[in-house]
Structure 1
Amino acid sequence: MITSSSERTAVSGGAPLDESGARPGRTPGERRLLGGLMANSITLFAVYGAVPTVLLANLVGEIDPGGKATALGVISAISAVGSALANPIAGALSDRTRSRFGRRAPWMAGGALLGGLSLIAVGSGNSLVWVAVAWTLAQMSLNVLQAPLTAVVPDRTPVRRRGFFSSAAGLAQMLGGGLGTALAAGFANALGLGFTVFGLLVIAGTAVFVLLNREPSTAGAQVAPFHLKSFLAGFWVSPRRHPDFAWAFLGRFLMVLGYFSVASYQLYILEDYIGLSHSSANHLVPLLSLAMLPGMIIMIVVMGPLSDRIGRRKPFVVAASLGMALAVAVPLAVPSEGAMFAYSVLVGLSFGTYMAVDTALMTQVLPNPDDAAKDMGVLNIANAGPQALAPALAAVAVTLLGGYRSLFAVAIVLIVAAALSVKPIRSVR
């Protein structure tokens, strides 16, 4: 569990959290934190929803129609390496940053600016090499933003309120992903403009957070001397010394990899597995995203605070994982538009529950609250890495293992394994 020092963290501008037991979101500082967190998360995850599943898939399809599945997988695998490195490194550096703007804001602002410009560059590309380089730079930059952003909950909220704020963050992520996919479909015939719009959105969302939640200066704070060897060694969290951290990492990694291996190939599934035309598939993608939202919103709003109330996280995470496996099994059994809608509804209910509670669970297995951004960055490899790797896994399943039915089967195995990985965690109920 997180030590009691996390109970004394600040919400905004260094003001101490209200320990009276009032509901979250009642104080001006909490409202600013909540609003900024949601704005930044919505715009960031709108990019994650829009680019891999719609904009990048269409762009790669235009450049290399015959080899689009393999090309998308290769580009995603390359960008995955950059993402996996950038997130924990940026988190660790933000933990050590001393500036009059605080330790998180400089990295968030820089990551958003470079990431937004890189997205614009992706949309101007007309070769696979250009797209691969620009998308990799965009992924790395966005992970520089995401690392300190994920440290907001352990930085600024006490343990007993983690479910509420995790629900808010999860709601923002799901709204961003769903709305981003829906909005991106409108740019299927204007891909350059679409990349530009999403690049500017992530810059604006980050500006809202940074301006609403200004950090106190850390310019005069003491920090241990920098030694490269100890800095690099800090990224290794021993599974033997911190087994709960390791199990949480593994569970999130498998869950996200299983889910996004299907989600990232949704356009191609509709075209090549369901049998829709390219135009019909592009029109159906936003409808499927919208079908996810009602159940997702309900579960995120309800399950995070409910887990706070009953003091348990693991049963919610396990149930959500098994529900996700059931969702993936529907189109495996019945390849139809109706099955894809059923899949979307079940995904909304399951993934909404998962995101609301699993984030709270992860904040409670951090080895050291003083290294929150670094450790959340390491854990976030289990989130960002699989999202980037998923198209590569999907390409292997589709091209080498027997088509889209094999893809669904692989996803189910991964998600069930994720559910089993949560059970050994001992410090969180």
Structure 2
Amino acid sequence: MTTAPTGPEPTTTTAAEPHPDKARPSGERRLLAGLMSNSIALYAIYGAVPAVLLANLVADVDPDSKSTSLGIISAVGAFGAMLANPIAGALSDRTHGRFGRRAPWMAGGALLGGLSLIALGAGNSLLWIGVAWALTQIFLNGLQAPLTAVIPDRTPEDRRGVFSSAAGLAQMLGAVAGTAVAAGFADALGLGFAVFGVLVIVGTAIFLLLNREPAAAPQAEPFRWKTFLAGFWVSPRRHPDFAWAFLGRFLLVLGYYCVSSYQLYILDDYLGLGRDRANDLVPLLSVAMLPGMIAMIVVSGPWSDRAGRRKPFVVGSSVGMAVSLALPLLLRSEASMFAYSIVCGCAFGMYMAVDTALMTQVLPRPDDAAKDMGVLNIANALPQALAPAVAAAVIAALGGYSALFVSGIVLVLLGALSILPIRTVR
């Protein structure tokens, strides 16, 4: 495969222009099914490894300091993933050849990520585990970035709600299924890592074989590192819709995870239930979220296609999330936490279904879709990493968990307001 440079940034937004390779495909259902299955395989790893397989492996190697060691290893892996996603996307944007722009990176990312997972399962030291997990994260994001670009590359705008819903559903199903399956390998960790490594390799291979990508013609300009690196900066002045979308996603995700990451402590300290009861309730609250989340993921994307609108759904989901956060603030009880979970599940499901579709319509250049989607993914990954620290600061500085709920409400509503100035999407 060969890469070519990023060209100079245009002065106008061209997100509505059709990509040269894009048409309403005769194999749309095959593309949709392949995208879902490949995404489920990828997100199964994200669900299985950090919470189950990696946690158990670290506990076996370093039982006395397992919490600290897992935190450091996870942070290093998350940092690598956050950098790898936009870089891999940008390189795929510049790739040309008879296999297309995305396929070589997807194949390479899946193969190397799968092999890194298998190597991770053989880890017998913290250094081995840390390096192997960082490489796994980097390579899997080399798969994820071009996989995400399949939607803006190969689907028309009036069908992106359907594909966005499918991506959101696959993300949730993969994470849940991965966690459940991984629990069965708690006593055979090496085999568990190998199973998920093979799964992502096979899943990606099937997707690529059934959904052949058109050959990509080379670009005229020679590769220049300065131009390539400068392409990661998207000017808010020249592309305000992209900047507003980034800010809206960042604020909403930060508001959501600031509260959800402290759920155990909220039940224990804020409601005064005690640690044992709090531990019993956490999985029940997660289950309470699922029905509404699944229903809204399935319904909202196609509904936004029919309506020809994205912004009302994203704004509505933000307002719904604010309402859910107000319930335990106004009434301290187990019932209010279950009400929070149900309402928040519906709101977050609507957001997951439509957010990706909206993001694909504010991209500055169709030819830079994977890079720009990778940059937007920072607005999803970074607040998740920052949320525990922000929540701790709010609780310490502003007077406890009531302040945390208020801060969450303010953040998600600011996220909604950030979507309103976007002009190229209704």
Distance 1:187 1:337 in 2: 33
* Offset from partner CA, 1:5-49 (integer Å, 9 cap, x none): 426643xxxxx426xxxxxxxx4x111110110011112222223
1:183 corresponds to which of 181, 184, 187: 181
Contact 1:73 1:391 in 2 (8 A): no
Change (3 A) 1:343 1:33: same
Quick one: structure 1 residues 60 and 255, their matched pair in 2 at CA, closer, same or farther if it must change by over 3 Å?
A: farther
Stretch deviating more after TM superposition (366-375 or 78-87): 78-87
Q: Does 1:259 align with 2:256?
A: yes
C-alpha deviations, 1:255-291, integer Å up to 9, x for none? 223334555566787788864559x94x876655443
Which residue number in structure 2 is paired with residue 365 of structure 1?
Answer: 362
Comparing 167-176 and 225-234, the one that deviates more: 167-176
1:134 match: 132
Tell me the distance in 2 between the aligned counterparts of 1:333 and 1:127: 48
The one-letter amino acid paired with 2:134 is: T
Distance 1:270 1:135 in 2: 32
Q: Distance in 2 between matches of 1:337 and 1:223?
A: 63
- Residue 245 of structure 1, CA deviation: 0.2
- Cα distance change on mapping 1:125 and 1:404 into 2, 3 Å: farther
Q: Which residue of 2 aligns with 1:6?
A: 18
Rounded Cα–Cα distance in structure 1 between residues aligned with 2:412 and 2:36: 27
Deviation larger for 148-157 or 192-201? 192-201
**C-alpha contact 1:95 1:372 (8 A) present in aligned 2:** yes
Task: Tell me by how many angstroms 1:145 deviates.
Answer: 0.9
Alignment of 1:17 with 2:24, yes or no, is yes
**Pairwise mapping of residues 341-420 of structure 1 onto structure 2 (< 5 A)?**
341-390=338-387, 393=390, 411-420=408-417
Residue in structure 1 matching 2:148, options 147, 150, 154: 150
Q: 3-state DSSP class of the match of 2:37?
A: helix
Aligned length: 412
Give the direction of change, closer, same or farther, for the CA distance of 1:400–1:131 in structure 2 (3 Å limit).
Answer: farther
Judged with a 3 Å threshold, the aligned counterparts in structure 2 of structure 1 residues 398 and 128 are, in CA distance, closer, same or farther, namely farther
Counterpart residue type for residue 241 of structure 2? D
Equivalent position amino acid for 1:353 in 2 = M
Q: CA deviation at 1:363?
A: 0.8
| 8 Å Cα contact 2:19-2:367 kept in structure 1 | no
Q: What's the counterpart of residue 238 of structure 1?
A: 235
CA distance in 2, matches of 1:133, 1:394: 29
Identical amino acids, percent of aligned pairs: 70
Are residues 1:162 and 2:160 paired? Answer: yes
Match of 1:198 among 182, 196, 199: 196
Deviations 1:382-414 (A, max 9, x none): 223334444555676789988877765654443
Change over 3 Å in CA distance of 1:100–1:269 after alignment to 2: farther
> For each residue in 1:162-190, what CA deviation from the matched residue of structure 2 results, as whole angstroms up to 9, or x when unmatched?
11211121221222223333434445565
Contact preservation (8 Å) 1:174, 1:352:
no
Which residue of the other structure, out of 407, 417, 422, is the alignment partner of 1:425?
422
Query: Which residue is equivalent to 2:3?
Result: none
Q: Which amino acid aligns with 2:155?
A: T
1:33-182 matched pairs, under 5 angstroms = 33-57=31-55, 71-125=69-123, 128-182=126-180
Structure 2, unpaired ranges of 5+: 1-12
Query: Structure 2 vs 1, CA of residues 179 and 9 (structure 1 numbering), >3 Å: closer, same or farther?
Result: same
CA contact (8 A) 1:119 1:196 kept: yes
Moved more, 97-106 or 119-128: 119-128
Shifted more, 388-397 versus 79-88: the winner is 388-397
- After superposition, the Cα gap between the structure-2 partners of 1:57 and 1:162, relative to the gap in structure 1 and judged at 3 Å, is same
Q: 2:303 aligns with which of 306, 314, 317?
A: 306
CA distance in 2, matches of 1:335, 1:187: 38
CA RMSD in angstroms, aligned pairs only: 3.5
- Cα 1:7–1:97 change in 2 (3 A) is closer
The runs of 5 or more residues in structure 1 that have no matched partner are 11-15, 19-26
The residue type paired with residue 205 of structure 2 is: A
What TM-score do the two structures reach when normalised by structure 1?
A: 0.82
Deviation at 1:65, TM superposition (A): 7.0
Query: Are residue 32 (structure 1) and residue 44 (structure 2) matched?
Result: no
Cα distance in 1 for residues equivalent to 2:203 and 2:251: 29
Q: In the TM superposition, what whole-angstrom CA distance separates every residue of 1:139-171 from its partner, at most 9, and x where no partner exists?
A: 222211111011111100111111121112122
CA contact (8 A) 2:15 2:362 kept: no
**How does the TM-score come out when normalised to structure 2?**
0.82
Residue by residue, what CA displacement relative to the aligned partner does 1:338-383 show, whole Å, maximum 9, x if unpaired?
6654444333211110011111111111111111111111112222
Q: 1:167·1:356 contact (CA, 8 Å) conserved in 2?
A: yes
In 2, distance between residues paired with 1:314 and 1:270? 34
Task: Quote the Cα distance in structure 1 between the aligned partners of 2:65 and 2:41.
Answer: 31
